[in-house]
A and B are shown apart, each in its own frame.
Chain A
Amino acid sequence: MIAACIKSIDDRSTHGLSPADEAAIEMALRHGEATGHTVIAVTVGGARADRGLRVALASGVKTAIRVDAPNDTESAAVAAALAPVVAHSATVWCGDYSADRGTGSVPAFLAAQLRRQQALGLISAEFVDPLRVTRRLDGGRREVLRITGPAVLSVEGSIARLRRASLRPALAAQSAEVLPYGTTVVPSGKTSPPAVRPYRPRARVLPAPSGATALDRLRVLTDSSAAPEPGETIEAGPAEAAARIIEVLRGWGYLELAE
């Protein structure tokens, strides 16, 4: 089974599914067609969210499930509500943002809940064995991953356009049953969200700059004309590499807070 997790918004300024959520439905359908798996669509929200599920049903999704919850439920709670519903799905496709421009963190929370691998912000996918996907990285770089085993994947809206549903399935979807899931009580998102602040490394003590005059000392502090310290490339196994990274980070003072 393959699942598409979507969020349908229905307020005055925003409505429906985001292009990313629509793309997630399309990718789930293509994945289902390539592998022969059944595709389900799941959402967490109020009754109005059914409209998004009906879009999925019209497009070819076999089953639509809604976990009833307030619309402002926070991401971790949404993921906790989704997890039991999609626990048996081989692959879970999500959009990387919702129509109300949330944090896009539900896929990551969901992967953590399910203890699965994740690949987020995908811009392409090839349905070969193993599944081959491409992520967008900073600076125009790309990361190509091969996905083996169950995974949670999130996609950008540009990856695919949702197929246009034929009239008969679209009509049938309007009266199709949306299955309620359990009686899960999802905590309201009214709990205060975690504080978000700009990252600020801990202050660390630096030796006083050397120089005979104030100008020289200023130059030492501010001059960037000198060659930068070269980066270090090491070749090592994961454990050794991780140890080296931690050592360097500690040297730079980044880990003092955690410790």
Chain B
Amino acid sequence: MPENDFDVVVVGAGPAGSCAAIEAARSGLRTLLLERGPFPGSKNMYGGVVYPRILDDLIPEWWNEAPLQRWVTRRSTMVLTDTQALTVDFRNEAWAAPPYNGATAHRPEFDRWLADHAVAAGATLLCDTTVTGLLRGEARRSGRVVTGVRTDRPDGDVTASVVIACDGVNSFIAKEAGLYGTPNPKDFTLGVKETLALPRQVIDQRFGVRDLEGVDIEIIGCTGGINGGGFVYTNLESIAVGVVLKLTSLAAQTTRPEEIIARMKRHAAIAPLVEGGELVEYSAHLIPEAGLRMMPEMTGNGLLIAGDAAALCLAAGIWLEGVNFAMGSGRYAGQTAVEAIAAGDVSQRGLRGYASRLSDTFVLRDHRKLRRAPELVLGDRVQHLYPSMITGMAERMFRVDNPSPKPGLRRIFREERKRAGVSRRALLRDSRDAFRSFG
């Protein structure tokens, strides 16, 4: 039997792919990392914060070399109605010092840095190359097995023992391998982002930070009649302002995403933050938002799926994470490939270590724990009724209505619940779901 061109082919040089390639190449496997863009990160877009704790043992003291923008030391959750805003703001100075927590980063820089580590480990990186399909063969014991990939280059077939698909959301490879069921538009959101350039000092003043400190604001109630949420992140000399919109909800009406961002930017609580910013980038991307419910089968014969391709993006309201899940799953996929190749069994059975690695770590444990959260957070009541109820309560609490005496909190709560149209039963049910999801 002729030898394969490579031991491992990783498709996609995003965070998942580069981490998989680092693991495989450091173990001495002949590793090919394919990227369809002209350089790693050129095709990527995200909300804005990475949590690189998972890199601690892969790239020790990554914080000294990673191309990051600002350390997130302030996390705010903002509830908006047309004229009101209620913000819960948390600040932690310790997150601006080693070992840090989260940081804003430009993906073209971050992804390139991570891919450079894969190359330094011995992987071959080939850009401008799109994988157009899987090569398959017959194995005696396991039947149909993936034996490599076909690329869009002339004579572009590459054979490998294991293919790791990190080709992002809407993974054509996972679909071609039959690992996904029929995709449901309800499971996806559309992330739309504007990057606005502002002088560094202006950002520092507006957001109350200094040096390399940064802010991450998550917003609910800013997307009009469309289910979703918004965000504002600070980079060093720009801010990212955007919305995440439920696909079916967006398609059911006629307002365009940029109009929704424009409306959010006009809000009294947002306008002073973004004023005078020069639009330097506009981008949009699909997000696999349904978590556990939409995940594909993660392994096939000779095939592993990681990152967004495996729908491993965590969209659970107060936790909006993706890059760390991509890096984690990529690492575990790389480790599993190493193990399976060493054992000489790359069948689905031989690759079962991947599922157990995912199950035993944050990757699937967090998703399992928060499996009800995406539906709850994007549900109609959280989106359209609770913001009005919560801000209404705050308004009543802080309004001084003399000579009337102050109403009791229970009365405010009852009256605002009724005004917002939230039934007691629905509130109890959502409270129970929230407790189960986040508790």
Q: Which residues of B contact A15 (CB under 8 A)?
A: 38-39, 42
Interface membership of B437, Cβ < 8 A? no
Q: A168-B155, A171-B32, A174-B125 are in contact. List 19 more A-B contacts (CB 8 A).
A: A12-B106, A15-B38, A15-B39, A15-B42, A16-B38, A51-B39, A165-B153, A165-B154, A166-B153, A166-B154, A166-B155, A166-B156, A167-B129, A167-B151, A167-B156, A170-B129, A174-B124, A174-B126, A175-B124
Taking a contact as CB atoms under 8 Å apart, the answer to whether B39 and A170 are in contact is no
Q: With a CB–CB cut-off of 8 A, which chain B residues contact A166?
A: 153-156
A243 vs B153: C-alpha distance in the bound complex, in angstroms?
58
The 3 closest A-B CB pairs, nearest first, are: A166-B154, A167-B156, A167-B153
Question: Would B126 and A164 count as touching, CB distance under 8 A?
Answer: no
Interface digits, B126-164 against A, CB 8 Å rule (1 contact, 0 not)? 100100000000000000000000010111111000000
Q: Which residue of A lies closest to B127 (CB)?
A: A51
Q: List 30 A-B contacts (CB under 8 A).
A: A12-B106, A12-B108, A12-B109, A15-B38, A15-B39, A15-B42, A16-B38, A16-B39, A164-B153, A164-B154, A166-B154, A166-B155, A166-B156, A167-B129, A167-B151, A167-B153, A167-B155, A167-B156, A167-B157, A167-B158, A168-B155, A170-B126, A170-B129, A170-B153, A171-B32, A171-B126, A174-B124, A174-B125, A174-B126, A175-B124
> In A134-187, which residues have CB < 8 Å from any B CB?
164-168, 170-171, 174-175
Closest residue of chain A to B123, judged by CB? Answer: A174
Which A residues touch B109, using CB under 8 A?
12
Complexed CA–CA distance, A171 and B155 (Å): 12
Chain A: minimal CB distance from B65 (Å): 16
Q: How far, in whole Å, are A165 and B38 apart by their CA atoms in the complex?
A: 14
- For residue B157, which residues in chain A have a CB less than 8 angstroms away from its CB? 167
CA distance A117 to B125 in the complex (A): 40
CA distance A167 to B151 in the complex (A): 8
Query: Digit string of B154-189 for contact with A (CB within 8 Å is 1, else 0)?
Result: 111110000000000000000000000000000000
Tell me the bound Cα distance from A164 to B125 in angstroms.
17
Report A-chain residues with C-beta under 8 Å of the C-beta of B108.
Answer: 12
- Chain B residue with Cβ nearest A17: B38
Q: Quick one: which of B39, B126, B156 has the most chain A CB within 10 A?
A: B126
**Chain B residues with CB under 8 A of A168:** 155
Docked CA distance A168–B126 (Å): 11
Closest CB in chain A relative to B404 CB, distance in Å = 58
A contact residues around B153 at 8 Å (CB): 164-167, 170
- Residues of chain B touching chain A, judged by Cβ–Cβ distance below 8 Å, are 32, 38-39, 42, 106, 108-109, 124-126, 129, 151, 153-158
Kindly state the separation between the CA atoms of A165 and B32 in the bound complex, as whole angstroms: 17
- Taking residues whose C-beta sits less than 8 angstroms from the other chain, chain A's interface range is 10 to 19
Residue of A nearest to B155 (CB): A166
Chain A residues within CB distance 8 Å of chain B: 12, 15-16, 51, 164-168, 170-171, 174-175
| A3 shortest CB reach to chain B, Å | 24
- Say how far B334's CB is from chain A's closest CB, in angstroms: 20
| Measured CA separation A163–B172 after assembly (Å) | 27
Point out the residues of chain B lying under 8 angstroms from A167, CB to CB.
129, 151, 153-158
Contacts of B106 in A (CB 8 A): 12
CA distance A174 to B153 in the complex (A): 15
How far, in Å, is B384 (CB) from chain A's closest CB? 40
A164 neighbours in B (Cβ, 8 Å): 153-154
Residues of A within 8 A of B32 (CB): 171
A68, chain B: closest CB distance, angstroms: 19
The residue of chain B having its C-beta at the shortest distance from the C-beta of A165 within the complex is: B153
Complex formed: what's the CA distance from A167 to B39 in Å?
17
B171 to chain A, nearest CB (A): 22
Which residues in B have their C-beta under 8 angstroms from that of A174?
124-126
User: Using Cβ atoms and an 8 Å threshold, which residues of chain B touch A165?
Assistant: 153-154
B262 to chain A, nearest CB (A): 25
CA distance A51 to B106 in the complex (A): 21
- Minimal beta-carbon separation of A105 from chain B (angstroms): 26
A164 to B158, CA, bound (A): 17
Residues on A with beta carbons closer than 8 Å to the beta carbon of B38: 15-16
Chain B minimum-CB-distance residue to A173: B126
Q: Which residue of B lies closest to A55 (CB)?
A: B128
**Smallest Cβ-Cβ distance to B158: which chain A residue:** A167
- Min CB distance B69 to A, Å, is 11
**A10 nearest CB neighbor, chain B only:** B39
Q: What's the least CB distance linking B277 to chain A, in Å?
A: 17
Give bound CA distance, A163 to B155, whole Å: 14
Closest chain-A Cβ to B120's Cβ sits at a distance in Å of: 13
| A171-B156 in contact given A12-B106, A16-B38 (Cβ < 8 Å) | no
Cα–Cα, bound, A106→B39 (Å): 26
Q: Closest CB of chain A to B349's CB: distance in Å? A: 31
| Chain A residue nearest in CB terms to B151 | A167
Query: In this complex, what residue of B is CB-closest to A174?
Result: B124
Shortest A100–chain B CB gap in Å is 15
Chain B residues closer than 8 Å to A175, beta-carbon distance: 124
Pick the most buried of B125, B155, B157: most chain A CB atoms within 10 A of its CB.
B155
In the complex, what residues of A have CB within 8 A of residue B39's CB? 15-16, 51
Which of A16, A164, A165, A170 has the most chain B CB atoms closer than 10 A to its own CB? Answer: A170
A105 to B106, CA, bound (A): 33
Q: How far is the CA of A168 from the CA of B109 in the complex (A)?
A: 28
A168 to B158, CA, bound (A): 9
Rounded to whole Å, the gap between the CB of B173 and the closest CB of chain A is 17
Least CB distance from A209 to B in Å reads 50
Contacts of B151 in A (CB 8 A): 167
Q: Tell me, in angstroms, the Cα distance from A12 to B156 when the chains sit together.
A: 29
In the complex, A170→B154 CA distance in Å? 10
